């Protein structure tokens, strides 16, 4: 098949665009669902790629052989990429595929006829076509324009190129396959055997790039791809009919999909971070190759896998009993899918409560497999299951994707997940299947492809960390040598010291392994670079007085504020950046007192000086002139506490005019006390590094310390510490003390005991307790665990539960159907509501007059755990709402205030209390005051005002009446003509209105009060024992003995009487006296104020101020 080969080589250039286009299509048109793994993962080729891309491979003859595997009838084993995943998560729109079909078909035909003919023109046309449906068409066509791009070995700048190359290769394979299909079938096996090599060899494709000859074949292939996709979009059932008549087409389709898959696999391999993602490979291997198109049509669920070379493991995998996944609900039309209705339609067996014992599998037996847990498992708690899988080397992801090997399905699986399962035809098993898997699989995943790849990756990682460790050692050595040589002259024996210190290093690991180069920093690399460039530009910016913001905007800041959670290397980054930029670091942290005064005086000496290191150096060392620059690192700025009064403000002032760069470091930038830095420091957030970013570094350290820790344990440690690098290193250092290796359980235990207690937010609390997991028969959580959950936020958890308990689909009702189910749900809801009601009684005992705080756990049970125990279940279809009780309560308080106000005004005329006013007067008042204004407009204004005056109602009361209506009188239903309303307001304001009394807060009472209070307090302060004891006596004569606290209180009546007398007098004689009094009051207040200021601070100042206004 020489022509084929030629075309294979030639078509590369043109092909690539097409496929890359396709890769992107899913992303761009995110809404569209791609059943097939259309989207390719874009791999940013890391340094790892270098390893893979060895030039030697270029010429490998094997490459050309295409991949076989036509048969994968179902999308099952496909590799999902993130883009793909997202694309599929959107609503599926099959419409997309229809337009494509006509297009693709003609092309295919064209392509099939002449193999090596007029290739070039076709490709172009094809691309254009593609561009119609893929938004990325432009980019792809660009690519086509210059086929040379393939040359790419420098992975850094072209992240696109490698991908493209791979695509080329794939399409090449496809061609072969198609040829093969149409022509000779016997060769299949040979091709297949080559598959594995192919995966590694992607880079070789480079060579092909050179060949520019474009072949029509390629074109064909790409168009085939399109077809394949279309086919996938078609509902499953249709496939058989569709394929059988046109076998050729079908094959093409499959091939295309296959190739696509292949591509992504390869990509994955390159993706070094994606250590565990090897599952798809195994699947691929399993995928049957020699099947006829007709077979393809077999139902998805029973995905048959017929690996060409069936391994023993594959047998095992196939033998695992699968369960049938429930049909996902159709989502035609309405997007909101009614979960309850859906559930009502299916009945599930009662959960068997017999807890299956966890099987003990061979070590790492699940290596390379990816699992997804969904729904509530009968006998296995989800977290337990996930842990089990992780412990045995498997990977657990949250959502199913093409790459998923198995879905462990329980009852109540989310509709979204079911849909994905159906879409990809994933294998679904239950926990028994999982156990069987674990029991049967040999250690390290046996001989399956997945395991092999897993192994390969592992060894690669091992190699890498070894290399890094070696480098580290080398570096240390050179440093030691350097130090030794400098010291050599003066202290010959220091060599010995160095040697000794190398063996027994007393430094903490965190210091020992602190990064010494940017390349060693885990995560936040960009941030470190920003610090560096900021420091570099600092002297320049100082000259231009910080006028130019620069492209990142830090040019106008003299200070920089790093913030982020603990243990992610903020301080390290600051020091490292300073060191790399040749700055001398002066550090100040929470161990130094940093009050306003000390900041001002202490920093004065620093801000305008240069470092001595720029002028002097130790004996024998060279003076480094550039070292005279200083950077001030203010660590733990948010630790400036009560002792550092005014320190933050002073520091902010310093930041405004400093002549050396200042780096501020804090954990929480949003604290109110960090506000002064808002405008003076450039904010640079540090984020938690991902597990992948840390893992390599940790592995290096482990290697150096000769501590054997498998990757999954490291993952667990990192996850357990929430990516706190420092803590992980500390844990390892502790572990090293008494052991040389750490296994999964040990690691789990350790990170558990080191766990930082995370306080859950109310939302998390309620979704955790209502989610059903805690009450599933398989759950191992105890009553105490649930009570514990309540105490995460004891004020909100019960309110949140009350708000959301009606939104679940209770597990306990799952065994019922139809009306019985509804009744059961009502029964459960009723029980829950009654329990919440019980809880409120307990709450009253706690917060009421009895203050029985010891009842808190009781409250937790009644108001939180017990209701949840009835209604716990899937919360699908209703989102967790915040409690509405608080809002309604404060609204009630506000309206109650209105009512009181109204009643206070009406009081001279009416006899009712405020409830009677609300329930009986208000409807009529509302009609007379509001409705008539609305109905008849301006004519009634006079009547309305007359009525208001007769009841001493004010304009505010009128507004309150408007707001107090409910139901038919709701304020939302009342639209008063703005003209009438403004006329009403105007008229009302023009007139004078009777007031039944002076408001206490306006004049008299407060004045009186404020005058008396100071005297009282002073008297008591001074004569605590003398005078007040006499008063106490008097009190004791009264009917009830009073406690000492009432000193003030006993004095109060006196004051009031006096005040009352005065008031009466004042009233009699007119306003003058009142005025005088107020004047005196004010003077007095001022005096008091100055007295108090020192003692009580701002609060009392404010109080006094309000009192005297």
Partner 1 sequence: MALLVDKYRPRSIEALTYHEDLSERLRSLAQSGDFPHLLVYGPSGAGKKTRIVTTLRELYGPGVEKIKIDSRVFQTTSNRKLEFNIVASVYHLEITPSDVGNFDRVVIQDLLKEVAQTQQVDQSARQRFKVVVINEADHLSRDAQAALRRTMEKYSPNLRLILLANSTANIIAPIRSRTLLVRVAAPTEVDICKVLSKVGKQEGWAEAEGLNKRIAKDSGRNLRRALLMFEAVHAQNEKVTDKTLIPPPDWEALIAQIADDIMAEHTPARILLVRAKLYDLLSHCIPPTTILKSLTFKLIPKIDDALKADVIKWSAFYEHRIRLGSKHIFHLEAFVAKFMRILESYLMGMDF
Q: By CB under 8 A, is residue 618 in contact with partner 1?
A: no
Q: Give me the least distance between CB of 1056 and partner 1, in Å please.
A: 7
Q: By CB under 8 A, is residue 310 in contact with partner 1?
A: no
* Span 798-837, contacts to partner 1 by CB under 8 A: 802, 806-807, 819-820, 822-823, 825-827, 829-830, 832-834, 836-837
**Contact pick of 182, 312, 459, 892 for partner 1 (by CB under 8 A):** 892
Q: By CB under 8 A, is residue 896 in contact with partner 1?
A: yes
**Contact pick of 327, 330, 475, 1001 for partner 1 (by CB under 8 A):** 1001
Binding mask 625-664 for partner 1 (x = CB under 8 A): ----------------------------------------
- Rank residues 424 and 864 by Cβ distance to partner 1 and give the closer one: 864
**Contact pick of 65, 203, 1006, 1014 for partner 1 (by CB under 8 A):** 1006
Q: Give me the least distance between CB of 837 and partner 1, in Å please.
A: 4
Angle among Cα 279, 280, 284 to the nearest 5 degrees reads: 125
Q: CB 321: neighbour CB atoms within 10 A?
A: 10
- Rank residues 543 and 1095 by Cβ distance to partner 1 and give the closer one: 1095
Q: By CB under 8 A, is residue 323 in contact with partner 1?
A: no
| DSSP assigned state of 305 | B
Ramachandran bin of 560, using left for φ above 0, alpha for ψ from -120 to 50, beta for the remaining angles:
beta
Q: By CB under 8 A, is residue 843 in contact with partner 1?
A: yes
Q: Give me the least distance between CB of 1014 and partner 1, in Å please.
A: 13
Radius of gyration of the chain (CA): 39
**Contact pick of 183, 492, 1053, 1097 for partner 1 (by CB under 8 A):** 1053
**Contact pick of 113, 608, 916, 1024 for partner 1 (by CB under 8 A):** 916
* Span 967-986, contacts to partner 1 by CB under 8 A: 967-970
Interface segment toward partner 1; rule CB under 8 A; list 179-187, 266-274, 495-503, 998-1006: 998-1006
* Span 925-964, contacts to partner 1 by CB under 8 A: 925-928, 943, 946-947, 950-951, 964
Q: By CB under 8 A, is residue 910 in contact with partner 1?
A: yes
3-state helix, strand, coil split of the chain in percent (to 5) is 65, 5, 35
Residue whose pair of structure tokens reads 């209703």 in the numeric block = 878
> Please, which residues have CB within 8 angstroms of residue 168's CB and are 6 or more apart in sequence?
11, 12, 13, 15, 16, 19, 150, 205, 208, 209, 218
Q: Give me the least distance between CB of 871 and partner 1, in Å please.
A: 8
**Contact pick of 965, 980, 1074, 1081 for partner 1 (by CB under 8 A):** 965
Residue whose pair of structure tokens reads 């299509």 in the numeric block = 25
Q: Give me the least distance between CB of 796 and partner 1, in Å please.
A: 13
Q: By CB under 8 A, is residue 853 in contact with partner 1?
A: no
Q: By CB under 8 A, is residue 1041 in contact with partner 1?
A: no
Residue 119 contacts residue 217 (beta carbons within 8 Å): yes
- Rank residues 556 and 1107 by Cβ distance to partner 1 and give the closer one: 1107
Strand ranges (E), 679-801? 681-685
SS3 (DSSP) at 288: coil
How far, in Å, are 498, 1031, 1034, 1035 from residue 1038 at the CA level? 87, 11, 7, 5
**Contact pick of 351, 839, 873, 1014 for partner 1 (by CB under 8 A):** 839
CA distance 918 to 925: 10
- Rank residues 347 and 1001 by Cβ distance to partner 1 and give the closer one: 1001
* Span 548-587, contacts to partner 1 by CB under 8 A: none
Angle among Cα 403, 321, 438 to the nearest 5 degrees reads: 70
* Span 228-267, contacts to partner 1 by CB under 8 A: none
Residue 216 contacts residue 119 (beta carbons within 8 Å): yes
Q: What b/e sequence results for 961-989 when a residue is b if at least 16 CB atoms lie within 10 Å of its CB, and e otherwise?
A: bbebbeeebeeeebebeeebbeebeeebe
Q: By CB under 8 A, is residue 885 in contact with partner 1?
A: yes
CA distance 119 to 812: 65
Binding mask 526-545 for partner 1 (x = CB under 8 A): --------------------
List the beta bridge partners of residue 682.
Answer: 560
Tell the burial category of 939 from Cβ atoms under 10 Å away from its Cβ (0-12, 13-18, 19+). Answer: exposed
Q: How many residues bind partner 1 (CB under 8 A)?
A: 89
CA distance 811 to 820: 14
Q: Give me the least distance between CB of 729 and partner 1, in Å please.
A: 49
**Contact pick of 573, 648, 922, 1035 for partner 1 (by CB under 8 A):** 922
* Span 48-107, contacts to partner 1 by CB under 8 A: none
Q: Give me the least distance between CB of 1087 and partner 1, in Å please.
A: 20
Interface segment toward partner 1; rule CB under 8 A; list 60-68, 613-621, 716-724, 996-1004: 996-1004
Q: Give me the least distance between CB of 862 and partner 1, in Å please.
A: 11
* Span 1055-1084, contacts to partner 1 by CB under 8 A: 1056-1057, 1060
Q: By CB under 8 A, is residue 1048 in contact with partner 1?
A: yes
- Rank residues 98 and 919 by Cβ distance to partner 1 and give the closer one: 919
- The side-by-side arrangement of strands in the sheet containing 630-634 is 584-588, 630-634, 662-666, 559-563, 681-685
Strand ranges (E), 348-394? 370-374
**Contact pick of 46, 363, 600, 840 for partner 1 (by CB under 8 A):** 840
Phi, psi of 140, rounded to the nearest 5 degrees:
-65, -40
Q: What b/e sequence results for 832-862 when a residue is b if at least 16 CB atoms lie within 10 Å of its CB, and e otherwise?
A: bbebbebbeebbebbeeeeeeeeebbbbbbb
Residue whose C-alpha is closest to residue 729's, from 563, 564, 569, 523: 569
Q: Give me the least distance between CB of 667 and partner 1, in Å please.
A: 37
Residue 627 contacts residue 614 (beta carbons within 8 Å): yes
Q: By CB under 8 A, is residue 993 in contact with partner 1?
A: no
Q: By CB under 8 A, is residue 794 in contact with partner 1?
A: no
CA distance 337 to 331: 7
Phi, psi of 559, rounded to the nearest 5 degrees:
-130, 160
Interface segment toward partner 1; rule CB under 8 A; list 153-161, 607-615, 699-707, 922-930: 922-930
Q: Give me the least distance between CB of 1046 and partner 1, in Å please.
A: 6
> What string of DSSP letters covers 953-1009?
--HHHHHHHHHH--GGG-GGG----HHHHHHHHHHHHHS----SS--TTTSHHHHHH
- Rank residues 139 and 822 by Cβ distance to partner 1 and give the closer one: 822
* Span 165-204, contacts to partner 1 by CB under 8 A: none
Please state the length of the chain: 1109
Tokens matching residue 175: 């061609």
**Contact pick of 237, 302, 439, 900 for partner 1 (by CB under 8 A):** 900
**Contact pick of 184, 675, 847, 1071 for partner 1 (by CB under 8 A):** 847
Binding mask 1009-1038 for partner 1 (x = CB under 8 A): x-----------------------------
CA distance 898 to 919: 14
- Rank residues 469 and 871 by Cβ distance to partner 1 and give the closer one: 871
CA distance 85 to 403: 10
- Rank residues 76 and 1051 by Cβ distance to partner 1 and give the closer one: 1051
- Rank residues 788 and 916 by Cβ distance to partner 1 and give the closer one: 916
SS3 (DSSP) at 714: helix
Phi, psi of 361, rounded to the nearest 5 degrees:
-100, 170
- Rank residues 630 and 944 by Cβ distance to partner 1 and give the closer one: 944
- Rank residues 456 and 823 by Cβ distance to partner 1 and give the closer one: 823
């Amino acid at each position: 098949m020489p022509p084929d080969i030629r075309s294979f080589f030639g078509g590369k250039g043109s092909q690539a665009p097409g496929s890359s286009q396709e890769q992107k299509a899913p992303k761009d048109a995110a809404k569209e669902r791609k059943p097939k793994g259309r989207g390719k993962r874009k791999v940013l080729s890391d340094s790892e790629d270098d390893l893979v891309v060895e030039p030697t491979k270029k010429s490998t003859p094997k490459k050309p052989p295409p991949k076989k595997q036509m048969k994968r009838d179902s999308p099952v084993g496909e590799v999902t990429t993130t883009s793909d995943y997202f694309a599929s998560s959107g609503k599926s729109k099959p419409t997309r595929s229809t337009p494509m079909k006509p297009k693709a078909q003609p092309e295919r035909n064209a392509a099939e006829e002449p193999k090596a003919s007029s290739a070039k023109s076709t490709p172009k046309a094809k691309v254009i076509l593609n561009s119609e449906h893929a938004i990325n068409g432009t980019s792809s066509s660009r690519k086509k324009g210059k086929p040379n791009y393939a040359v790419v070995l420098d992975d850094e700048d072209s992240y696109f190129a490698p991908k493209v190359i791979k695509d080329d290769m794939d399409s090449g394979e496809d061609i072969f396959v198609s040829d093969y299909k149409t022509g000779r079938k016997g060769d299949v096996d040979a091709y297949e055997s080559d598959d594995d090599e192919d995966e590694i060899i992607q880079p070789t494709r480079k060579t092909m790039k050179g060949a520019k000859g474009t072949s029509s074949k390629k074109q064909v292939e790409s168009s085939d791809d399109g077809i394949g996709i279309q086919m996938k979009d078609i509902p499953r059932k249709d496939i058989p009919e569709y394929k059988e008549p046109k076998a050729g087409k079908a094959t093409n389709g499959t091939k295309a999909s296959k190739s696509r898959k292949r591509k992504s696999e390869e990509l994955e391999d390159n993706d070094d971070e994606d250590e565990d993602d090897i599952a798809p490979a195994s699947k691929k291997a399993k995928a049957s190759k020699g099947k006829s198109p007709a077979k393809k049509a077999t139902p998805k669920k029973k995905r048959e896998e017929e690996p060409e070379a069936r391994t023993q493991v594959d047998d095992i995998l196939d033998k695992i009993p699968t369960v049938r996944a429930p049909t996902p609900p159709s989502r035609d039309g309405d997007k909101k899918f009614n979960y309850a209705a859906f559930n009502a339609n299916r009945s599930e067996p009662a959960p068997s409560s017999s807890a299956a014992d966890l099987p003990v599998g061979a070590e790492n037996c699940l290596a390379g497999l990816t699992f997804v847990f969904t729904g509530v498992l009968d006998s296995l708690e989800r977290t337990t299951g996930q842990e089990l899988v992780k412990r045995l080397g498997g990977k657990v992801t949250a959502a199913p994707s093409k790459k998923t090997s198995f879905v462990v399905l329980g009852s109540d699986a989310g509709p979204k997940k079911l849909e994905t399962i159906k879409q990809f035809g994933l294998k679904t098993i239950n926990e028994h299947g999982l156990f069987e898997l674990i029991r049967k699989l040999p250690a390290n995943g046996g001989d399956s492809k997945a395991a092999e790849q897993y192994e390969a990756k592992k060894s690669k990682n091992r190699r890498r960390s070894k290399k890094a460790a070696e480098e580290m050692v080398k570096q240390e050595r050179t440093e030691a040598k350097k130090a030794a040589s400098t010291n050599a002259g003066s202290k010959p024996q220091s060599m010995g010291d160095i040697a000794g210190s190398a063996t027994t290093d007393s430094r903490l690991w965190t210091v020992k392994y602190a990064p010494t180069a940017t390349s060693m920093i885990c995560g936040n690399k960009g941030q470190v670079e920003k610090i560096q460039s900021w420091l570099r530009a600092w002297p320049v910016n100082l000259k231009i007085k910080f006028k130019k913001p620069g492209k990142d905007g830090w040019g106008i800041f003299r200070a920089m504020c790093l913030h982020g959670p603990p243990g992610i290397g903020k301080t390290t980054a600051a020091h490292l950046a300073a060191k790399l930029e040749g700055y001398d670091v002066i550090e100040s942290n929470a161990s130094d007192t940093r009050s306003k005064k000390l900041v001002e005086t202490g920093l004065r000496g620093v801000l305008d000086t240069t470092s001595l290191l720029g002028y002097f150096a130790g004996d024998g060392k060279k003076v480094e002139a550039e070292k005279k620059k200083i950077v001030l690192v203010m660590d733990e700025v948010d630790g400036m506490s009560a002792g550092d009064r005014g320190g933050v403000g002073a520091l902010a002032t310093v930041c405004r005019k400093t002549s050396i760069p200042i780096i501020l470091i804090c954990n929480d930038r949003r604290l109110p006390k960090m506000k002064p830095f808002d405008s003076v420091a450039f904010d640079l957030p540090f984020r938690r590094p991902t597990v992948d970013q840390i893992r390599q570094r940790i592995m290096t350290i482990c290697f150096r310390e000769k501590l054997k820790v498998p990757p999954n344990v490291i993952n667990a440690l990192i996850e357990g510490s929430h990516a706190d690098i420092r803590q992980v290193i500390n844990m390892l250092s502790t572990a090293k003390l008494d052991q040389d290796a750490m296994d999964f359980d040990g690691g789990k235990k350790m990170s558990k005991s080191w766990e930082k207690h995370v306080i859950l937010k109310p939302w998390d609390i309620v979704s955790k307790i209502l989610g059903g997991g805690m009450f599933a028969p398989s759950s191992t959580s105890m009553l105490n665990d649930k009570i514990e959950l309540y105490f995460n936020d004891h004020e909100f958890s019960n309110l949140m539960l009350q708000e959301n308990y009606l939104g679940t689909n209770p597990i306990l009702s799952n065994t019922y159907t139809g009306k019985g189910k509804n009744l059961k749900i009502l029964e459960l809801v009723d029980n829950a509501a009654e329990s919440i009601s019980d809880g409120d009684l307990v709450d009253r005992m706690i917060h009421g007059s009895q203050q029985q705080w010891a009842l808190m756990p009781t409250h937790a049970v009644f108001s939180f755990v017990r209701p949840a125990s009835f209604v716990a279940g899937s919360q699908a279809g209703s989102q967790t709402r915040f409690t509405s009780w608080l809002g309604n309560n404060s609204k009630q308080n506000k309206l109650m205030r209105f009512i009181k106000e109204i009643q206070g005004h009406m009081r001279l005329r009416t006899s009712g209390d405020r409830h009677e006013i609300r329930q009986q007067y208000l409807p009529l008042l509302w009609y007379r005051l509001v409705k008539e204004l609305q109905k008849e407009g301006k004519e009634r204004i006079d009547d309305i005002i007359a009525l208001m005056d007769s009841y001493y109602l004010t304009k505010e009361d009128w507004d309150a009446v408007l707001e107090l209506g409910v139901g038919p009188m709701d304020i939302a239903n009342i639209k008063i003509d703005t003209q009438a309303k403004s006329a009403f307001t105007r008229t009302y304001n023009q007139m004078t209105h009777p007031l039944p009394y002076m408001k206490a807060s306006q004049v008299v009472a407060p004045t009186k009060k404020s005058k008396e209070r100071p005297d009282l307090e002073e008297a008591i302060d001074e004569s605590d024992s003398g005078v007040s004891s006499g008063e106490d006596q008097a009190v004791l004569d009264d009917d009830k003995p009073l406690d000492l606290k009432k000193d003030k209180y006993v004095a109060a009546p006196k004051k009031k009487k006096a005040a009352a007398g005065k008031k009466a007098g004042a009233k009699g004689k007119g306003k003058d006296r009142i005025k005088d009094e107020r004047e005196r009051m004010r003077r007095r207040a001022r005096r008091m104020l100055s007295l108090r200021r020192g003692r009580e601070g701002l609060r009392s100042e404010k109080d006094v101020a309000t009192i005297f206004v």
